[in-house]
Structure 1
Amino acid sequence: MPSKISKALTLILISVVALNLGGCRIYQSLGKSIPGSWLHPVNGPEYALPSDVDMENNALLVIYRPDSKWASEEIESPSFYIDDEREFGIKNNAHYWFEVEPGKRHLVIRRPLLGLEGVTFFSLRIISDFTVDLKAGQTYFLRYSELTAPPMDKAISEEEPMGDGALFLIPEALAKRDLLTTMFDDQSGRFLTYKMEYHEPEQYAALEEQKSQGEGKWWWPF
């Protein structure tokens, strides 16, 4: 007899297929959110900023999650989205970095249930949701924790939000207090570019050609 978990996964898969056929956007991390830190803890190198980032033209986004017993026992990792694209499941005691094109980036963290996170008109749980305006040449530090508040008392600037829910922008000096004890998660460490509207049509066509030929410095995660 199939287990309850197997039945639940089957129902979720059927629902995902049905919703896709109906034209709905599915937010899901099937096979990506499981296992979380409890079954698959991060064991990469200690914190160090990359040295080969094109800071003249791009920004560097550093995201981390400080260590906690609660997060270390997590079965499924929350999903981190940038401009509506899922980039990784954020794990306990881990840090991530991305070289990102400048501009306004929409950051969302969703918590899944057996890999399902929501659809176009409904989300199971959104932990954080805000937009940050990234400038070329700048490094941005994002701290994620549902247990402890960020070690600061004001926003980095008046022009952008400090954060939302459990995700906050904090200065590098404060971020390093946690970052130095975290480990690199190899889900990250790549160049991100998004959405056709961020490029001139001819530039986007060139990027698409690079992608199809496996060339260039960037790639789409899905």
Structure 2
Amino acid sequence: MIKIGLLLLSVFMLPSCTIYQSIGHSFGSFVSTPNGQDFQPVGYRWDYEHTALVYVYRPASTWANDELESPSFYLNGERLFNIKGNGYTWYELKPGTYEIKIRRPLLGLEGIEVTNAVDFTLRMVTELDLNAKAGSVYYLRYSEVDKDAAKFENMTFHENPLQLVTPEVALAEIQQTKMLDEGRGLIADIPEEEVKIAAPAKEKPQQEESPGTKSWNPF
């Protein structure tokens, strides 16, 4: 047992080792419900001439509200926030293609990657690519079930729980959500080790086509 612990410690200390984790941020709505302000559109407070605006939200459901841990939202390899039921946030994106991954944690730990050796994720909930264009507004809806989990009978899981939806669909639901603690930043389409969050900059709504969708397995 000691040898295994020392081996794991030596792996974690490798300079090429990346540990995916959200310790301290992974509490689900059952433990800590979103308590930010009610939904408010960004308006013209983002730089719509040079960036895109993306809203990410998760409608309330018994399934989402009963979570002890909420999944982590990654953009280009950087964890941005954990998405709770009845919560939303937004980001500005520099034009470019973004790789979105959502990982589900266990006690805050999600996986480990060691270059050319190990690439392990405890549970990859979804993967999706978003091609962001300046002046466009995107609404990303995350929901693992399309029926209230309290009923369970005839409950089905989405083929991909993260979907790009129209403003009509999003605005009918997102107005019931509350702001999450993390978000409201500027993300540049640059290598993952250089991704940084800056102060927000001005809404000129404009919907774009759906991004490519990859496979998802809820279990």
Q: Any unmatched runs of 5+ in structure 1? A: 1-12, 150-162, 198-203
Question: In the alignment, what sits opposite 2:121?
Answer: 123
How far off its partner does 1:194 sit? 4.7
Q: Matches of 2:139 and 2:175 in 1, distance apart?
A: 13
How far off its partner does 1:16 sit? 7.0
Counterpart among 42, 45, 52 of residue 59 in structure 1: 52
Cα gap change, 1:20/1:194 in structure 2, threshold over 3 Å: closer, same or farther?
farther
Q: Matches of 1:184 and 1:112 in 2, distance apart?
A: 22
Q: Any unmatched runs of 5+ in structure 2? A: 114-118, 148-157, 201-219
Q: Is the 8 A contact 1:129 1:164 kept in 2?
A: no
- 1:77 equivalent to 2:70? Answer yes
Cα gap change, 1:29/1:173 in structure 2, threshold over 3 Å: closer, same or farther?
same
Cα gap change, 1:16/1:78 in structure 2, threshold over 3 Å: closer, same or farther?
farther
Q: Matches of 1:191 and 1:177 in 2, distance apart?
A: 26
- 1:174 equivalent to 2:166? Answer no
Question: In the alignment, what sits opposite 1:217?
Answer: 199
- 1:195 equivalent to 2:190? Answer yes
| TM-score normalised per structure 2 | 0.73
Aligned ranges for residues 1-222 of structure 1 at < 5 Å? 17-22=9-14, 23-33=16-26, 35-51=27-43, 52-120=45-113, 121-148=119-146, 165-196=160-191, 217=199
Question: In the alignment, what sits opposite 1:154?
Answer: none
Kindly report the root-mean-square deviation, in angstroms, between the aligned alpha carbons of the 2 structures: 2.6
Higher relative contact order (CA 8 A, sep 6+): 2
Q: Is the 8 A contact 2:87 2:178 kept in 1?
A: yes
SS in 2 for 1:25: strand
Aligned residues: 178
Q: Which amino acid letter does the alignment assign opposite residue 29 of structure 1?
A: S
| TM-score normalised per structure 1 | 0.73
Cα gap change, 1:178/1:16 in structure 2, threshold over 3 Å: closer, same or farther?
farther
Question: In the alignment, what sits opposite 1:155?
Answer: none
4+ aligned runs moved over 6 Å, structure 1: 13-16
Q: Matches of 2:38 and 2:7 in 1, distance apart?
A: 40
Cα gap change, 1:217/1:182 in structure 2, threshold over 3 Å: closer, same or farther?
closer
Q: Matches of 1:86 and 1:137 in 2, distance apart?
A: 24
Stretch deviating more after TM superposition (78-87 or 173-182): 173-182
Q: Which amino acid letter does the alignment assign opposite residue 83 of structure 1?
A: N
Cα gap change, 1:14/1:145 in structure 2, threshold over 3 Å: closer, same or farther?
farther
Higher fraction of helix? 1
